[in-house]
Amino acid sequence: MVKLSIVAPIYNEEENIRLLHEAITNAVKNRVESYEIVLVNDGSKDRSASILNELAVEDPAVQVVHFVSNCGQTAAIYAGLKHAKGELIALIDADLQTDPRDIFKLMPYIPQMDFVNGKRVKRQDTLVKKVSSRVGNGVRNWLTGDQIYDTGCPMKLMKREVAESYYLYEGMHRFLPTLAKINGFKVIEVAVSHRERQHGVSKYGVFNRAFVGLMDAIVIGWLRKRVIRYQVRGQ
């Protein structure tokens, strides 16, 4: 089995893809026994698909999944988790605002923890994005009863068992740490670095950060209160 899978959703990131591949490769080569890079093309309309295919030919570690049409971030992450073969699975965005080298900041917390969530410090975002993210995290924590500081951080590391426990619906990529807890796994947050986006534009604005997830948070909070826990008594 592959030791580490690095999964990244791709949507119209033609300027970033090769930089992403280089950054991931430089970060993990010679540091893990084996690895794969799972890149999920979420129906991109630019040159992303052809660049991904070129990378898959050039580098056997690259595994590409192409969606027929755009299905959204949750679907892309879910497909990546399902295709990943690693004992450990890392999630990262394609915009290079998080550093693949930070995977090794998270890794020491495994195996004591099952899911390590990155927590962005000194965020290199606009004030509007910072505020909307803070509001979104606050609303989600209030509705779900959880205490995750930065659930939207794209840098995450989990054991394979956690990924296999997920059955995701649209929008639930925002709640991966909370869902891991609901499924009985141990979760911790660890500080990671954050950088300015160099190419392309963010696909997620104030509205879908702060407000679109409101109903999703209500559903997650409802599920959290109804988790079944039981122990079987010995004979």
Instruction: Tell me the CA distances in angstroms from 206 to 9, 76, 128, 148, one per residue in order.
Output: 20, 21, 7, 20
In the predicted model, is pLDDT for residue 113 greater than 80? yes
95 domain-assigned: yes
In a domain, 230, yes or no: no
Q: Is residue 60 part of a domain?
A: yes
Within a domain: residue 123?
yes
Q: The domain containing residue 76 runs over which residues?
A: 2-225
Between 96 and 121, residue with greater pLDDT: 96
Going through 72-151 in order, the beta strands assigned E by DSSP cover 86-91, 115-120
Domain presence at residue 231: no
pLDDT at 142: 47
Length of the chain: 235
**What is the rounded CA–CA span in Å between residue 198 and residue 96?**
8
- The CA-CA-CA angle for residues 141, 77, 11, to 5°, reads 110
CA separation, residue 81 to residues 50, 122, 179, 189 (Å): 22, 29, 14, 20
Q: Is there a domain that residue 78 lies in? A: yes
The average pLDDT across 142-166 equals 82
Inside any domain, residue 172: yes
Q: What integer pLDDT is reported at residue 128 of this predicted model?
A: 42
pLDDT at 124 over 60: no
- Tracing tokens 């160099």 back to the chain, one arrives at 198
Confidence (pLDDT) at 15 = 94
1, two tokens: 């089995």
Q: What is the CATH number of the domain that holds 220?
A: 3.90.550.10
- What is this structure's pTM? 0.84
**Tens digit of each residue's pLDDT (9 = 90 or more) over 5-21:** 999 999 999 999 999 99
Based on the structure, what is the number of domains in the chain?
1
| Least confidently predicted of 31-45, 119-133, 162-176, 189-203 | 119-133
Please give the average per-residue pLDDT across 53-72, as a whole number.
97
3-state secondary structure of 120: strand
76-104 pLDDT tens trace: 999 999 999 999 999 999 999 899 999 99
